[in-house]
Structure 1
Amino acid sequence: MTVKLKVVRSGTWTNPVFDELVGSHAGVDLDVFSVSGADQEAWSKLAQAQVYHLMASRDDLPAQWHVTDELLQRCPNLLCVSSSGAGYDTIDVEACTKAGVAVVNQAGGNAMSVAEQAFGLMIAVSRRLCEQDRRLRRGERFSREEVMGHDIGGRVLGLVGMGHIGTRMAILAHAFNMTVLATDPYLTAQEIEQRGATPVAMDELLARCDIVSLHCPRNKETLGMFDAAAFRAMKQGALFITTARGGIHDEAALAHALQTGHLRGAGLDVWSVEPPPADHPLLAMDNVVATHHTAGVSHEARYNIAKIAAEQIVLLAGGNRPPRLVNPEVWPVYAQRLRQALL
């Protein structure tokens, strides 16, 4: 069975392979709308959409184009919503499930890219690389011993989340002879072990690890999870690394933990507001290495994500179930709505 699906995507940047694969498929009618300056035209296109592919980063897409109850009500033909990344901050999954709308993400497509940058942040913080760079550029004169850092080799690494990215983190960590501990409520202890880590409870992970790295989704369970109490529970002199999502860690509490010397440093790729304001307290600290939510943004990762997204939509056009369903419980309702759409 081949279904002629009306696919609409937000007009934010994507690798051209998405439009090439989706646009050339006989079972798909692809359209793109501008995210600014032509709202009436955009709503007209979305009202016809059966699949809506949109930017995953909440601050890169105007809020009116996020998938909310309101958008779903204005777009009654929607059958599926496709995130442009592994995350889906711009999509209210609960509202979609209630409306019988399938949600797909592109989990795993940028996993190696994120893991590489997490390790880059880890090394940069531990070896004080960015501090050295800034001081040299300012023309300061200082001894090498003044900026002496620490090796990460042989340290204890704690992974909060052991999905695609966490699994790749464990592989890289073993190459540095690190001990890897992990916690993940969605996996059994056996599954965590199979992915290369020793399963532990969160309190043990915080107490034992020299470096804690976040690789969990932003949801009701994780929002605000790393608060002042969590940072106090971390090992004295530990490093905090996150390439997960802003809002999972409390930025003020982290700043305090760094200012008091309880934590030795932090590598931050994600922020509550992206980009963070220039006067953000964390940006003023030499022991913080900051990046602009770019861990999953490499040429290779962007290509992989766009290709996987296109392939999932092509599967939908063939009447097939995509492999990366965020809300699998909706599938029977989706299938029934699809059949009704074909009548």
Structure 2
Amino acid sequence: MTRILAAGDHFVAPELFIDAIRARVGESTDLAFTSLTLDWPLEPFGRIGTVDEASGSIPRLIEALDGVEIAVTQMAAFSREVFENTPDLRLISVCRGGPVNVDLAAATAAGVIVAFAPGRNAVAAAEFAIGLMLAAMRRVVTSDSELKSGQWRGDYYTYENAGLELDGATVGLIGYGAIGSIVSRVLRAFGATVLAHDPYANAATVAADGVELVDLPELLSRSSVVSLHARLTAETHHLLNAQNLKLLPHGAVLVNSARGGLLDYAPLPDMLASGRLGALALDVYDIEPPPPEWPLLAAPNVVMTPHLAGATRQTAQRAATIAAADVALYLDGDRPRAVANPEVWSVLEGRSAR
């Protein structure tokens, strides 16, 4: 019998994992499930032990992993201490775009395969980014709030205060992976010219999409709207900063629904106050949630949402389905589709061959 831990939360519930695995492998497979429900998103994720963007208690996770060979999760804190106390664990399937809540070095040293789910929220995140753009460009959130408080802002129809259209605009996308490519498709349907900056993108693929691949300074200097869709790494931390943000045209709109660390938030209040930055739309922050004294909370022309870009029911269902597919492949002796530490699989595959 194979024991599986479904370490879910209040978005991707344990039952979603279990139902998806049962549907994929069949009821006849000899499996025993243990469930664990983490507090996210009712409580923010954070750093736990040696991992980031995690939820839950390490001792509680270790207890739930007793005798478990396979774990499926979104947010559980697979810190170094976990691997030191779970000798039976062989596979973790993390149903998110990157397994940041897993200590990859510790997992590799322990011989545990770490699978993940790139693209699981690509549609949701892309749609949300477009929504943020429109909200910022057309003052949707600001005017809604003002009207409900009794203000009828006729001055928003003056030429100086009027909004911007996507049709005919040049929009720069920083990052052209699963999300960025969907965003570009929607933008081109609106009639926008799309630029992209992504050193890892395939130039032929980008060109075939009708998108121009350019370096970062050119993208910033030509784009009236810039939207972030890159992964956060040591290389991309503060990719946009006080120095290169000055390249933006006066009144440009900036959207970040990717990761807070991609953007240096310090210069933004002054840029908004001066009109250098026309509007800002944020779903992610350098500190989550932002503290009450955070300057951008009182800055003009800012749209803010609490890290909701991926929050659709379809994303949760898709995440569980991807994790279930990983489990099924592993049970059949095959490699999961996206593995963060392929060297572990190579070792296991070599043992099987012998």
TM class, shorter-chain normalised? 0.7 to 0.9
Q: Pick the aligned partner of 1:200 from 214, 220, 223.
A: 214
Q: Pick the aligned partner of 1:9 from 3, 6, 12.
A: 6
Q: Pick the aligned partner of 2:289 from 275, 285, 310.
A: 275
Q: CA deviation at 1:52?
A: 2.7
Give distance in 1, aligned partners of 2:249 and 2:108: 40
Number of the residue aligned with 1:132: 143
Number of the residue aligned with 1:51: 70
Relative to structure 1, the CA distance from residue 248 to residue 76 in structure 2 (aligned partners, 3 Å threshold; closer, same or farther) is farther
SS in 2 for 1:48: coil
Kindly provide the CA deviation profile for residues 79-127 of structure 1, in whole angstroms up to 9, marking residues without a partner as x: 2322232243322334434544332222222211111110000000000
> Which stretches of structure 1, 4 residues or more, deviate above 6 A after TM superposition?
36-39
Q: How many residue pairs are counted as aligned between the two chains? A: 329
Q: CA deviation at 1:35?
A: 4.0
Structure 1 range deviating more: 125-134 or 278-287: 278-287
Number of the residue aligned with 1:154: 168
Structure 1 range deviating more: 269-278 or 156-165: 269-278
Number of the residue aligned with 1:142: 153
Kindly provide the CA deviation profile for residues 53-87 of structure 1, in whole angstroms up to 9, marking residues without a partner as x: 2324xxxxxxxx42233332233333232223224
Spell out the pairing of 1:184-333 with structure 2 (5 A cutoff): 184-333=198-347
Sequence identity (%): 33
CA RMSD of superposed structures (Å): 2.6
1:116 equivalent to 2:131? Answer no
The one-letter amino acid of 1:89's match is V
The one-letter amino acid of 2:92's match is V
The one-letter amino acid of 1:145's match is Y
Higher RCO structure (Cα 8 Å, ≥6 apart): 1
Q: Which runs of 5+ in 1 are unaligned?
A: 57-64
Number of the residue aligned with 1:74: 85
Give distance in 1, aligned partners of 2:291 and 2:87: 38
The one-letter amino acid of 2:324's match is A
SS in 2 for 1:221: coil
Relative to structure 1, the CA distance from residue 271 to residue 304 in structure 2 (aligned partners, 3 Å threshold; closer, same or farther) is same
Number of the residue aligned with 1:169: 183
- Give the TM-score taking structure 1 as reference length: 0.86
Relative to structure 1, the CA distance from residue 91 to residue 233 in structure 2 (aligned partners, 3 Å threshold; closer, same or farther) is farther
Q: CA deviation at 1:254?
A: 2.9
Number of the residue aligned with 2:36: 33
- Give the TM-score taking structure 2 as reference length: 0.83
The one-letter amino acid of 1:31's match is T
Structure 1 range deviating more: 114-123 or 314-323: 314-323
Number of the residue aligned with 2:17: 18
Q: CA deviation at 1:33?
A: 2.5
Structure 1 range deviating more: 157-166 or 143-152: 143-152
